[in-house]
């Protein structure tokens, strides 16, 4: 029986409107490199990852230059798939279909946000180790530590939400190719891969991540991400 392999899949077809930048968010420079390159480098530097696929929009005009100017140039274990869709779900599903010939149903796919440049090999290996032998899969996440308030229509406090057992989802989110593709093909209006798996009635496992692996969303997040990448936070 052939051992299962591990593949990275990074959807990077969005424009990151909330960043307000002149270029798509994933190509904004942080600590000297585009965010996307930092994310891809984490997979490239992890020996357990057999191959990494990045999904961009068909008319993306940035990815080739970003990769050519980085240490990732010419790597045979990195493929660009120009099949990105209108939503994250579309891009991941199109990417899964495009990588079909290289990946078996029982191989694992680790889907990671291009806008989480703080990922590193230790976190990837932690996720893989925690899910070894798991029948479903899971994701990196962090326990919620802040008190949560639900707002009313006027932005007043409607209620305080108990934070016990609440976790904030991160990525990578790791599931077998066959299961993930089936879940995404059947799901509607999901914002991450774990939600699609949950819709099948399955229970993904939560694996503790790291505060450095946060998602860069707003302009002020860039400075914080840079501090993490430079080891100053």
Domains belonging to the chain, first-starting first, are: 6-229 (3.90.550.10)
Q: What is the mean pLDDT of residues 176-186?
A: 98
- Tell me if 4 sits within 8 A of 106, measured CB to CB: yes
pLDDT digits (tens, 9 = 90+) for 64-116: 999 999 999 999 999 999 999 999 999 999 999 999 999 999 999 999 999 99
- The predicted pLDDT at position 119 comes to 97
Radius of gyration of the chain (CA): 18
State pTM to two decimals.
0.94
Provide DSSP, 129-191. Answer: HHTTT-SSEEEEEEE--S-EEEE-TTSSEEEEEP-TT-EEEEEEEEEEHHHHHHHHHH--S-S
Q: Is the pLDDT of residue 17 over 60?
A: no
């Amino acid at each position: 029986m052939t051992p299962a392999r591990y593949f990275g899949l990074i959807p990077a077809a969005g424009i990151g409107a909330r960043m307000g930048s002149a270029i798509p968010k994933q190509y904004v420079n942080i600590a000297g490199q585009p965010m996307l390159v930092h994310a891809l480098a984490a997979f490239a530097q992890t020996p357990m990852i057999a191959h990494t696929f990045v999904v961009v929009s068909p008319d993306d005009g940035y990815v080739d230059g970003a990769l050519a100017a980085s240490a990732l140039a010419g790597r045979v274990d990195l493929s660009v798939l120009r099949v990105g869709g209108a939503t994250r779900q579309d891009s991941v599903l199109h990417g899964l279909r495009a990588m079909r010939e290289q990946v078996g149903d029982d191989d694992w796919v680790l889907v990671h946000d291009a806008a989480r440049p703080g990922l590193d090999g230790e976190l990837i290996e932690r996720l893989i180790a925690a899910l070894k032998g798991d029948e479903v899969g899971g994701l990196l996440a962090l326990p919620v530590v802040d008190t949560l308030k639900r707002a009313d229509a006027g932005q007043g406090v409607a209620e305080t939400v108990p934070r016990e057992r609440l976790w904030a989802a991160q990525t990578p989110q790791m599931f077998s190719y066959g299961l993930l593709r089936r879940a995404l093909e059947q799901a509607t209006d999901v914002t991450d891969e774990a939600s699609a798996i949950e819709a099948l009635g399955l229970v993904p496992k939560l694996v503790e991540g790291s505060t450095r692996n946060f998602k860069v969303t707003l302009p002020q997040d860039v400075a914080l991400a840079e501090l993490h990448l430079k080891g100053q936070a």
